[in-house]
Every structure is written in C-alpha cells, then in structure tokens.
Amino acid sequence: GQNIDQPTEMTATEGAIVQINCTYQTSGFNGLFWYQQHAGEAPTFLSYNVLDGLEEKGRFSSFLSRSKGYSYLLLKELQMKDSASYLCAVMDSNYQLIWGAGTKLIIKP
C-alpha cells in the first residue's frame, strides 16, 4: 500500500528553527510537495522536490532523499503566523497526489 508518515504535532518557539519530517512509501515517485494549511482554510503551496537535495526559499527549505523515501521541511526564524498544519504529499506513478495526515505546528512566544 501507499503510505505517508509525518508527526502529528510539533511545538517550537518563536524565532527558533523547526524541522518537520516526512517518510513515504508509494508506487512510483514523481515529486514531493509541501503545503501549509491554516485552520479552516485551503492548503497553500510551499515547495516541490523531485531531485535529491535541498531547495531553499526564504525562511523555508525542503530536502529530499529518494533512496531513503524521506523529506523534511525546515522553517527558520519562526513567526507566530507559521502556526499551521504542514502537509506532505507525494505524486505517485499515476501522477496522483498521496497526502500525509499533516503536522500541526504550534509556535509559542
């Protein structure tokens, strides 16, 4: 079966750095996405990785290791507005997105 695992909840302090991990087992791989979702709102796109390595975009970076079936989202200089759920999704061989359950990130002052 297809499976995406990510922690249910994480807590971090404003100004700090947090890493949200995602491991996956899917039938084929055509890229991994990270989305941010605030409560009651639709997800917004953060990053897309299809090759191994680190992609940096401002305060957010995303890393991928295809051989390990592993990715992480790194958030630096945390701000209160970063409190949200972070969804990991993998595009399988049929170009269908398989979604993780999301990681609720709580930022404390």
Partner 1 sequence: GAVVSQHPSWVICKSGTSVKIECRSLDFQATTMFWYRQFPKQSLMLMATSNEGSKATYEQGVEKDKFLINHASLTLSTLTVTSAHPEDSSFYICSANHGGDSYEQYFGPGTRLTVT
Question: What is the Cα–Cα distance from 62 to 20, expressed in whole angstroms?
Answer: 9
The piece of 19-27, 57-65, 74-82, 97-105 that touches partner 1 (CB under 8 A) is 97-105
99 contacts partner 1 (rule: CB under 8 A): yes
97 contacts partner 1 (rule: CB under 8 A): yes
Q: 92: which 2 tokens?
A: 């399988």
First-to-last C-alpha distance (Å) of the chain = 40
- Sheet with 3-5: list strands edge to edge: 3-5, 18-25, 70-75, 60-65, 53-57
Which of 34, 49, 100, 107 lies at the binding interface for partner 1 (CB under 8 A)? Answer: 100
Which of 1, 42, 57, 109 lies at the binding interface for partner 1 (CB under 8 A)? Answer: 42
Asked if 62 and 73 count as a contact pair (C-beta separation under 8 A), the reply is: yes
The piece of 19-27, 51-59, 71-79, 87-95 that touches partner 1 (CB under 8 A) is 87-95
Q: What is the binding site for partner 1 (CB under 8 A)? A: 30-31, 33, 40-45, 48, 87, 91, 95-97, 99-102
